[in-house]
Amino acid sequence: MTKETFIKLIKDYQEFQEYIDKLYDLKIDIINGLLHEYPCKLFDSIIYDTFTEDGSDWVSYYLYENPDKCYYIDKVKYPLETVDDLWNVVRDYLK
């Protein structure tokens, strides 16, 4: 996967999740339905087929568990604010 394709994939997925959140705010709950599950399964399949388990974990961390927008290795702080920052981490985990 190229950097450009990766960035588009992540941004499109984030846009999809924002759309789902807007629907939820309007009391339209599709989170447990096929309209939400199927795109998420496709996204997960692409990520798992493209990256090792560690790479997939980094993507999940960035999307769902990254409150400080950074990570630490040996007490050194690294940014994880943008999809470019994420690419700099996960490119080493391409299959």
Instruction: Determine the longest span between alpha carbons in the chain, in angstroms.
Output: 45
Q: What residue numbers bound the domain in which 41 lies? A: 3-93
Task: Give the residue among 71, 65, 67 at the shortest CA–CA distance from 85.
Answer: 71
Number of domains in the chain: 1
- pLDDT tens column, 17-52: 998 888 887 887 777 777 778 898 999 999 999 999
pTM attached to this predicted model = 0.85
With contact defined as beta carbons under 8 Å apart, do 72 and 78 qualify? Answer: yes
With contact defined as beta carbons under 8 Å apart, do 90 and 59 qualify? Answer: yes
Average pLDDT of the chain to the nearest whole number: 92
